[in-house]
Structure 1
């Protein structure tokens, strides 16, 4: 007879808290009650693909958080985390026989939506599902901020840095598609451990500074030239290109915090980014971290709306106090009960929980029966 696998209450509480934080970071930034379609192409939102309604072989489609709950309850869904500039497809032409319950009137297609193999539950350059039942290697997946695909760390072609959750990544394919991004890498990209080691040994000098930045501020220039430069700021990208510093153009690139603010935003570069569909790189509020912070703020504002307190509004003062005292007593006793298991690292069994609530039930019956007088 094999022993039943057990975990301590501490493990359960820690895992539950971690999962709750991850879920709230993704979901709290999206509306769980109303279809996002009327908002148009939402800047960033939690999305799902329904394998029941749009399986592989059909047209790719994505649904918002609210529709995943209301219109696709019980369906086989792929969680896509978040996508930018997406409009909910639920119930449009791609869904034969299914009408959106939250917003039935929709265009046949959303022509500006971008789709990938993620919408059929496939990820990375290896195009495998996640979780992958055939993959025995424990490996985290990281999202590219450009194509928004999820890639295995071992398939990035580079060393994954520490504190990766604080850094944005652009995959090698997107870097090669937008070659000008490589110009920024030598100056802004997170260096690999190998490069850092060389610098510590003095094998590589400090990054060269563009000549325009080395010029002395004391050099007199014609006033007309100065005013023209003030009106038309120089292109930082061009200066970096002229500096000539390069890095090996292979593998994914990790970028440090606030790297977007260091990109050139001159008129020429804005046109370049727009033509490449990368204007969002100049928007620091586009980041997943900004979206998650927004979700956390929403959750904190909503914490004051306790369902219990809403129900209490319909009771008189005496009833409110009685229920509040009983509720707080039960919470305190449950906390004390569970704390004994947590402090000793013991496992809480279903019988333990059942026993606790049976004791609570007996206490209520004794209290409700009133005082007992013996003759």
Structure 2
């Protein structure tokens, strides 16, 4: 009997083992394994296009078969582009489904919403990922052959090979994935001055949870959240901090580290890239599309507007400003290090939100608050087998009398086939194609008699 892994990862991927040496139980096992995999990957209903929800963060699939490699929502990837060549992009923010729009060329049609040749979504941002090319290295991604974990940059949302991020092909990276929640890549740190202005003040400063990795693998900026990390920081200690900051740690910085002592230990996460989007127990519904771009900009401003004066810190709690070239990040770059920045769990609570600091985040609301990600509603039929779904379809779509007659005919045929095969199974006889053809030939003669 073939095991589940052999069935799931058979080169045929058709639910039939690639070996000729199999029996009926193997075929049944293959079907059950594939159905279980489908239920785990896609426990959702895909009967509603997200176009009317507007520009939201959602799972996307770029269609390489259609014109311009445009991207569509999860529902359209199945209902409208199921037999096309697709690139799975996972979650991307501020994106509207392009199925049935002019962006895909004349005649584009969404079979779910019956929308065709709608105006192109001008705010959608496309990059090389939509052509199946990822990372600094520009290597095409093949899910069937790729064995390396990939990390997504929080800002540009590009997917990056772990070895390209850390500059090493070692099996264990210097900063394990369970020690950070997300990252900002060196390309954004060097090319986006606003992002750099925010992160450089925190990056590499002990206790902030905004971490840097030095060329020798030393990690600076860890949260002092447990004794293990605290001891590691102490051991790396003054030598590491001396490389990041020529002077002793300021008192304000020490207070920040002490304040973080009560943070609970962070749970381990799954690898950053999996074969499918992970289901959530409570899918979040996206907000409707803003009527105009001005309305959207207004909503962004509201996200990052000043809290009431009574809720604002009386003093700035950000790490002290230091001269240009003296920050841990600048020193790391001067030493030839990679300026990727790694953000610990609950990083949104890291930033100072005083009256002076908060306006810096107006264009980056996702740094201040966790983003809502649209997921399709759960499918109540997701746990049903293909057979059960077929019977439900039969009962619900056919006239009741005809459906009952069909079920009775199926049950009668099934009982006769079992009666025909039982003696062969009892005697240990291998059932061949000739046996099955003989049974159905006898059935045809019976009906004609």
- TM-score scaled by structure 2? 0.53
Q: How far has the Cα of 1:363 moved from its partner?
A: 11
Q: How far has the Cα of 1:234 moved from its partner?
A: 2.7
Instruction: Specify the alignment match of 1:168 in structure 2.
Output: 182
Root-mean-square deviation (CA, aligned residues, Å) is 5.1
Task: Evaluate the alpha carbon distance shift between residue 284 and residue 27 of structure 1 in structure 2; reply closer, same or farther with a 3 A threshold.
Answer: farther
Matched, 1:130 2:141: yes
Instruction: Determine if contact 2:64/2:87 at 8 Å carries over to the other structure.
Output: yes
Task: Evaluate the alpha carbon distance shift between residue 53 and residue 202 of structure 1 in structure 2; reply closer, same or farther with a 3 A threshold.
Answer: closer
SS of match in other structure, 1:142:
strand
Output one character per residue of 1:92-133: Cα deviation in whole Å (capped at 9) or x when no partner.
222223321334256422121111111122111122211299
Matched, 1:273 2:287: no
CA distance in 2, matches of 1:48, 1:282: 29
Matched, 1:210 2:252: yes
SS of match in other structure, 1:72:
coil
Matched, 1:144 2:153: yes
SS of match in other structure, 2:57:
strand
Please, which runs of 5 or more residues in structure 2 have no aligned partner?
14-31, 168-172, 220-228, 242-248, 257-307, 419-429, 442-449
Task: Evaluate the alpha carbon distance shift between residue 45 and residue 77 of structure 1 in structure 2; reply closer, same or farther with a 3 A threshold.
Answer: closer
Instruction: Write the mapping of 1:1-375 to structure 2, written as runs, cut at 5 A.
Output: 8-12=2-6, 28=43, 32-54=46-68, 61-102=70-111, 103-105=114-116, 107-131=118-142, 138-157=147-166, 159=173, 161-163=175-177, 167-176=181-190, 177=192, 178-179=195-196, 180-186=198-204, 187-190=208-211, 192=213, 194-195=218-219, 199-201=233-235, 203-204=237-238, 210=252, 231=310, 233-234=312-313, 238-242=316-320, 246-247=328-329, 248=332, 250-266=338-354, 269-275=357-363, 278-286=364-372, 298=378, 302-303=382-383, 307=389, 310=392
CA distance in 2, matches of 1:185, 1:173: 15
CA distance in 2, matches of 1:185, 1:239: 15
Instruction: Determine if contact 2:312/2:355 at 8 Å carries over to the other structure.
Output: no
Q: How far has the Cα of 1:242 moved from its partner?
A: 1.2
Instruction: Determine if contact 2:61/2:86 at 8 Å carries over to the other structure.
Output: no
Q: How far has the Cα of 1:166 moved from its partner?
A: 6.8
Output one character per residue of 1:247-302: Cα deviation in whole Å (capped at 9) or x when no partner.
53533222222212333345554432223xx2122232447xxx6xx67x836785
Instruction: Determine if contact 2:107/2:117 at 8 Å carries over to the other structure.
Output: no
CA distance in 2, matches of 1:22, 1:264: 44
SS of match in other structure, 1:151:
strand
Which structure shows the bigger proportion of residues in helix conformation? 1
Q: How far has the Cα of 1:243 moved from its partner?
A: 6.7
- TM-score scaled by structure 1? 0.61
- Compare relative contact order (CA 8 Å, sep 6+) and give the higher one, 1 or 2: 1
CA distance in 2, matches of 1:73, 1:301: 20
CA distance in 2, matches of 1:75, 1:137: 21
